[in-house]
Amino acid sequence: MEVAVWIIILPLLTAFFLGISKLYFKKIFMPLVTGSAIIYLYLLILVITNSYPPKVYSIGDWGLLGINLMVDPFSTMFLLIIAILFLPVIIFSLKFIKISKYKYFILTYLMIAGIAGMVLTADLFNLYVFLEVSSLSSCALVAVKKSKKGLEGTFKYLLMSTFGSFFILLATILTYYLTGTLNMAEISLEFEDIPFKIKSTVMACFVFGYAIKIGLIPLHAWLPDAYEASPIPYNVLSSGLVMKSAVYALIKVLYIMFGIEFLDESGILNLVVFWGVISFIIAHFLAFQQSNLNRLLAYSSIAQVAYIIIGLFVGNEGGLIGGSFHILNHAIMKGTLFLVLAIFYYSLNAVDIEDIKGLGYRFPILSFIFVVASLAIVGLPPFNGFISKWLIVEAALEAGFVYAAFFILVGTFLSLTYYSKVIVKLYTKTEQTIEIKEPGLSLRLPTIFLGSLCIVFGLVPSLPLSLINKIPNFLLDNGEYIRILLGG
């Protein structure tokens, strides 16, 4: 069986055997979780290093149940994000998670399987199926702590997620009705003969459904509550992969099935860029008002995803490069911030900005990493967030979206105001002496690893860009995708 197939199968098998081990073989819990994560990293590296030229893998020929997997430059970048985040989060979680440990890891592996399936599948129906696997697992993870806030956050998340899924499923059914196929390459060819208004209606359903999954304002109400109530290591995967996989699916559907010419003609590019600008401005103002650190980072995630959306929808090569690079960078930057916050919570139950007062002197290395990640996500040089944000600004100017470029610079200032507030509190001396639980290496090392990438990818952006630079030609020319998928 091809290695790419195991990217989906291994986490599913791990989740299954974790359930079995809880009943009969509890001693193998730790080796099973860590061993599977290490093997998974090895498989991801194999697929990533052999991803060019793009490859197609067919699993069965069973109509709706048949699966075509495709490893292309865009999917490879998401596999790289999984490779960077998954093992550090698993190692961190083994020490951090105390309640419902089996449920947490089973659901995490199921969620990763769903995300991997979304990233690799080339079939519209299977894209929806894997989306639901990741969404339902993600909803359950919010409730895993069994707190009142967790249940409330889960209810909102599940309600909004179901609403989004309805529109995505409706668009999928309409697409199959119009084209008679669910293969994304064949759909693209069949769509050429579909009337403009009907195609626009289908596209609107896709955009609205995925916008809910992404959390663009005003469809964001579930996200801050979900972040506040869920286990903090899960937030690393949620912000880095769950939200981004919805972005991935939307871009893949629009650019491959509809094509850049139709997107430009329909006016959706202008609409979504404007939506992105409104979203990040409001999100920044809401983030500034937060006292809870999880909620602050949640609104920050909404703003950063809005930047990504702007880059991916300006409709040119530079925007796709900048937006894709910011997907990777945001996963690293926000992952670092959440892991530092998780350590503060582990050590002294810190959840609010006031709770971290003076911790810069108690945890000098971790606090420095928090400052680095904060400055990176604001978009200041020489960190990775500056590079990707600047590429998005350049692309917006090139495409004629001057107002978007201007407000991105304004957004940088707005984000600096609330991250500065947190940093100042971190280094404000206090006379209080609080008993602190010291975090071990299993908590520190994953955090330091992610934090170091904020510097490495800022100083040497050519490392990830060598992969990302291949994405625009593949998305802007959907004929290449069609040719490879159909074997023409």
Of the given ranges (139-143, 245-249, 393-397), which has the lowest mean pLDDT? 139-143
With a CB cutoff of 8 Å and minimum separation 6, the contacts of 457 are: 328, 329, 332, 384, 387, 463, 464
Q: What is the pLDDT of residue 53?
A: 80
Q: Write down the domain spans for the chain.
A: 3-486
Residue type, 368: F
Q: Determine the Cα–Cα distance for residues 335 and 236; give it in Å rounded to an integer.
A: 5
Burial call 316-345: b when 16+ CB within 10 Å, e when fewer: bbbbbbbbbbbbbbbbbbbbbbbbbbbbbb
Q: What is the pLDDT of residue 36?
A: 92
SS3 state of residue 53: coil
Q: Determine the Cα–Cα distance for residues 362 and 261; give it in Å rounded to an integer.
A: 56
Length of the chain: 488
Query: Is 318 in contact with 398 (CB distance < 8 Å)?
Result: yes
Residue 115: closest CA among 146, 143, 141: 141
Q: Is pLDDT at 1 greater than 60 in this prediction?
A: no
Q: What is 13-32 written as a DSSP string?
A: HHHHHHHHHHHH-GGGHHHH
Torsion angle of C-alpha atoms 346, 146, 164, 250, degrees rounded to 10: 30
Q: Is pLDDT at 488 greater than 60 in this prediction?
A: no
Of the given ranges (34-48, 50-64, 153-167, 322-336), which has the lowest mean pLDDT? 50-64
What would the pLDDT profile of 204-238 be if each residue is shown by its tens digit? 999 999 999 998 888 888 888 888 878 889 999 98
Rounded to the nearest integer, the mean pLDDT of the chain is 88
Of the given ranges (135-144, 149-158, 188-197), which has the lowest mean pLDDT? 149-158
What mean pLDDT is predicted for residues 89-102? 89
Burial-class residue 99 by CB neighbours within 10 Å (0-12, 13-18, 19+): exposed
- Side-chain half-sphere exposure of 390, counting CA atoms within 13 A: 12
Q: Which residues pair with 71 in a beta bridge?
A: 55
Q: Is pLDDT at 65 greater than 60 in this prediction?
A: no
Query: Is 238 in contact with 138 (CB distance < 8 Å)?
Result: yes
Q: What is the pLDDT of residue 447?
A: 94
SS3 state of residue 182: coil
Of the given ranges (82-96, 119-133, 180-194), which has the lowest mean pLDDT? 180-194
Cβ atoms within 10 Å of 379's Cβ, excluding its own = 28
Q: Is pLDDT at 107 greater than 90 in this prediction?
A: yes
Residue 30 pLDDT grade (very low, low, confident, very high; cuts 50, 70, 90): confident
SS3 state of residue 71: strand
Query: Is 377 in contact with 337 (CB distance < 8 Å)?
Result: yes
Query: Is 244 in contact with 75 (CB distance < 8 Å)?
Result: no
Helix (H) or strand (E) holding 206: helix 196-214
